[in-house]
Amino acid sequence: MADVLEIEGLTKHFPGHAALEDLTLGIAEGEFFSLLGPSGCGKTTTLRLIAGFETPTRGDIRLRGKSQNSLRPYERNVSTVFQSYALFPHLTVRENIEFGLRYRRKGNGAALVRQSIEMLELGGKEMRKPDELSGGEKQRVALARSLVIEPDVLLLDEPLSALDPNLRKQVRSELKALQRRVGITFVFITHDQEEALSMSDRIALLNHGRLEQLGTPHELYLAPRSRFAAAFLGPVNWIDHVGLRPEATRLLARPTEGLHSVAATIESSTFLGNCVHVEARTSGGTLVVAEVSRLNGKWQAGQPIHICWDPGDEIRLPPA
């Protein structure tokens, strides 16, 4: 099936600054797609270009095969959920959702509003104003307002960042379930690797305005193609030129057949509740962090140990 959204050679230069350079990728119908990367890497610029709030310096954006470059934001069948939600404080929940339809002619507006209210479980709260809602409810209103136009693609700009940490985790799974239910393609922006890993079908990792790597969460985490990608997706130990995630790092009394190993000395151990972080220094002087179960033993500073790992867990970067 053709991709619902195709981005080709997309480039955006601001005076004296290249925010996005030659981005090419396709997003499949119904995909939960994340744009991940550090602050300033070009995520928001990409989203704004797709939405039509910025004009590309070069390149093309096609929605269902049709170039969007000459279309105004309201002429594109995409919808954006902003970080701040941008709800109107003086309007009720229902009016906020209806506002989504203001610039889009949809014959069955009332039915779509009703459907959005039901889908986001906002029934009974239609007459409330935003300041009478919890953070999670405000977010659901913002989603309802965006989904009411039945967009081909829903763009989400760090929509979880306004929520407190506990709620964030809960909303993550709700958002993913909602996306599966409505079947709409989501393009989700985040700088949080755990958020991207836990929700996405695929992730595009950006770095300084360029596509660093594109792949599934498993591919990015387990087979990063650069040191930047390896480090951005989570902690990694580099032993010689081999990368090893802390949870794949084992601490054993002696070398074991089938595992690679290196001699080391324990430096410290920190109990974190669900696991123990143990720091050990190899005989070559490299500090290695292992994330181990508290059931696996006790670790004392100065204790000699062997750092062992399954060769299948090694991260090997392609030659530069």
Binding site for ligand ATP (CB under 6 A): 14, 17, 19, 37, 39-45, 191
Q: Min. distance of Cβ 82 from ligand ATP in angstroms? A: 12
Q: Min. distance of Cβ 299 from ligand ATP in angstroms? A: 38
Q: Min. distance of Cβ 14 from ligand ATP in angstroms? A: 3
Distance separating alpha carbons of residues 291 and 278, to the nearest angstrom = 6
Distance separating alpha carbons of residues 194 and 212, to the nearest angstrom = 18
Q: Min. distance of Cβ 21 from ligand ATP in angstroms? A: 11
Of 37 and 59, nearer to ligand ATP (C-beta) is 37
Distance separating alpha carbons of residues 286 and 197, to the nearest angstrom = 28
Amino acid at 85: Y
φ/ψ bin of 140: left (φ > 0), alpha (ψ from -120 to 50), beta (otherwise)? alpha
- Return the bridge partners of 268, or none: 279
Distance separating alpha carbons of residues 302 and 320, to the nearest angstrom = 37
Q: Min. distance of Cβ 57 from ligand ATP in angstroms? A: 12
Is beta strand 32-36 parallel, antiparallel or unpaired with respect to 185-190? parallel
- Transcribe 209-275 into DSSP letters: TEEEEEE-HHHHHHS-SSHHHHHHHS--EEETTEEE-GGG-EEESS--TTSEEEEEEEEEEEE-SS-
For 228, the token pair is 């930047």
Q: How many residues does this entry show for the chain?
A: 320
Of 50 and 178, nearer to ligand ATP (C-beta) is 50
Q: Min. distance of Cβ 43 from ligand ATP in angstroms? A: 4
* 3 state DSSP class of 57: coil
Q: Min. distance of Cβ 17 from ligand ATP in angstroms? A: 5
Of 17 and 241, nearer to ligand ATP (C-beta) is 17
